[in-house]
Amino acid sequence: MTLFERLKADAAPQWASYTNHDFVRQLGDASLPQECFRHYLVQDYLFLIQFARAYALGVYKSPTIDDMRQSLEGVKAILDAELDLHVGLCGDWGMSRSDIENAPEETPTMAYTRFVLDAGMSGDLLDLQAALAPCIIGYAEIGARLQDGGADHAGNPYRLWIGEYAGDDYQKVAGGFSCWLDRTAAQVLTENRYPRVLSIFEKACRLESDFWQMGLDAGSR
C-alpha cells in the first residue's frame, strides 16, 4: 500500500466530500452553471501562483538534490506552462489576462494556499507533500472518473478541463507525485508521526471541498 492509499483510506469521509463534491458531479453531467466555472477558473489561476511558491518552498525544504529537482519541476511546470494554459482556457471562457490577474483573491483561495505554505514552512518536506497530495492526486482521480463515465463527450462544455486531468500527461504527474511521497516517507515517516501527517492531508481535503463550494456559491450571488 502506498502512503497516499493509506491516507486516502484513513481520510475516507474528507476524500469523498472533496472528490464527489456537487461541483464535480455537475461538471460531469454538464449541469454546472457557466458562471460557477468562470469564477472557479479565475480563483484557480490565483491558486496556481501560490502553488508555484509552495513548490519553491519544496526546493528549500528538500533533503536531497533529487528532491530539489522534483520540486523544481513543479515550479517550472506551473510558471512555464500551466499559468499560460490557464490564461488560454480563461480566454475560451471570455476572460482576459487582466481580468484574472486583477481579480481579488477570495477567502477560500487564501485559506487553502496559505495552509499549504504554512504546513511546509512549519514542517518538513513530508508535511508539505501531505498538504499538496490531495490537490495533485485528487484531480487525476476526478478527471479519470469523469472520463470513464463518458463525461468528456462533445456536448459537455467542460470536456477540455476533464480531458486535461484525465490525460496521460497529468496522470503521470500524479503517479510520479505519489512515488515521490513514498520515497520521502521511507526516509522520515514513523508511526508516531503518522497522525500529524494524516491531519494535514485531511485538512487539505476539506479546503479542496471549500474551493469547489466557492465556485458553486458564485452561481447564487
Ligand X SMILES: Cc1ncc(C[n+]2csc(CCO)c2C)c(N)n1
CB of 89 to ligand X, least distance (A): 11
Phi-psi sector, 30: left (phi>0), alpha (psi -120 to 50), beta: left
**How many residues sit in the footprint of ligand X (CB under 6 A)?**
14
Of the pair 88, 192, the CB lying nearest ligand X is at 88
Contact assessment for residue 19 and residue 136, using Cβ atoms and an 8 Å cutoff: no
Active-site option among 36, 90, 135, 205? 135
Q: Identify the CA nearest to 185 among candidates 117, 120, 100, 128.
A: 128
Maximum separation of any 2 CA atoms in the chain, in Å:
50
- Each residue 50-79 as x (binds ligand X by CB under 6 A) or -, in order, gives -x----------------------x--xx-
Using CB under 6 A, which of 21, 42, 75, 82 touches ligand X? 82
Binding mask 128-167 vs ligand X (x if CB under 6 A, - otherwise)?
Answer: -------xx--x----------------------------
Nearer to ligand X, 95 or 189 (CB): 95
Least distance between ligand X and beta carbon 208 (Å): 6
Which of 115, 194 has the CB closer to ligand X? 115
Output the residue with the shortest Cβ distance to ligand X.
135
Find the shortest distance in angstroms from Cβ 102 to ligand X.
20
CA distance linking residue 19 with residue 134, whole number of Å: 9
Please, which residues have CB within 8 angstroms of residue 185's CB and are 6 or more apart in sequence? Answer: 3, 126
Copy the grid coordinates of residue 151: 463525461
The only residue of 27, 44, 128, 214 in contact with ligand X, by rule CB under 6 A:
44
| Nearest in space to 2 (alpha carbons), one of 203, 206, 177 | 177
Q: Buried b / exposed e across 32-66, counting CB within 10 Å, b at 16+? A: beeebbbbbbbbbbbbbbbbbebbbbbbebbeeee
Residue among 136, 171, 169, 145 at smallest CA distance from 28: 145
CB-nearer residue toward ligand X: 2 or 213 = 213
Active site residue 205: no
Q: Please report, as ranges, the residues that interact with ligand X according to CB under 6 A.
A: 44, 47-48, 51, 74, 77-78, 82, 135-136, 139, 173, 208, 211
